[in-house]
Amino acid sequence: DTAVSQTPKYLVTQMGNDKSIKCEQNLGHDTMYWYKQDSKKFLKIMFSYNNKELIINETVPNRFSPKSPDKAHLNLHINSLELGDSAVYFCASSQEGRRSSAFFGQGTRLTVV
Amino acid sequence: GESVGLHLPTLSVQEGDNSIINCAYSNSASDYFIWYKQESGKGPQFIIDIRSNMDKRQGQRVTVLLNKTVKHLSLQIAATQPGDSAVYFCAENIKGGSYIPTFGRGTSLIVHP
């Protein structure tokens, strides 16, 4: 019973395409996140979302947008994909609060060709 | 925070040795820290956490030390095993609206049999 699941695990697409990555959590958590991990393994927060607010990392291009149909889902939409978008994207969730740890999905390896 | 170098820091140890992984954090107001382990092809997983009112916390084969004076964390792994080979991250929950898990650079631990 996977706690945080994201699909697809691998995504290969051409430049200029629009794609989505789905994420679901069954932990009943309040807050969900998207992270981007580059080739040097650096994990950068892209978005944080709960039912009250969306926090966007200001460095994230507006081609990226999170969509949350309900509390258990936070999907990532990417428009006009660029080569530099190639990375591993992780969805995560946690309870709201200063002393909560995050649970991560398995990651989606996006390759833009 | 730490400066981002060209390469992922790597620690190589022999099986059975003790390992120490270090991390510097950026925000003196942070009061909760987490160590995560990321195995190849997987998302980061919680190992151990520590609150700022403690300077040491022990788990099974792992110990986290916190030095608030110099804003430094370390993760000690006793009797390191090949299964401990992974990338290790420290994270702090930084307030940006909600509390957002914010990751350090990561250290690759390689355990040689």
B4 touches chain A (CB under 8 A): yes
CA distances from B49 to A36, A54, A99, A101, B23 (A): 23, 26, 9, 8, 14
**What pLDDT score does A1 carry?**
66
CA distances in angstroms from B41 to B6, B19, B91, listed in the order given:
21, 22, 20
pLDDT given at position A72 = 94
Tens-digit pLDDT profile for residues B7-54: 689 999 999 999 999 999 888 888 899 999 999 999 999 999 999 999
**Which residue in A has a C-alpha nearest to residue B42's C-alpha?**
A106
Model confidence pLDDT, tens digit, residues A88-97:
999 999 987 7
Q: Chains A, B: CB contacts under 8 A, how many? A: 79
Task: Tell me, yes or no, if B68 comes closer than 8 A to chain A by beta carbon.
Answer: no
Q: Is the pLDDT of residue B75 over 90?
A: yes
Confidence class for position B97, pLDDT limits 50, 70, 90: low
Reduce the secondary structure of B39-102 to three states and give it as a string: CCCCCCEEEEEEECCCCEEECCCEEEEEECCCCEEEEEECCCCHHHCEEEEEEEEEEECEEEEE
Percent of chain B with pLDDT over 90: 75
* pLDDT average, residue stretch B61-76: 95
Q: With CB atoms and an 8 Å threshold, state whether A105 touches B43.
A: yes
Phi, psi (rounded to 5 degrees) for A84: -70, -5
With an 8 Å Cβ cutoff, is B23 touching chain A? no
**What is the pLDDT, as a whole number, of residue A82?**
98
How much is the pLDDT for B91?
94
Q: Is B4's pLDDT higher than 70?
A: no
Torsion of CA A97, A102, A107, A110, to 10 degrees: 40
Side chain identity at A20, as an amino acid letter? Answer: S
- CA nearest neighbour of A20 among A3, A4, A6: A6
pLDDT at B96: 65
| Residue ranges in chain A whose pLDDT is less than 70 | 1
B5 pLDDT above the threshold of 50: no
- pLDDT at site B2: 40
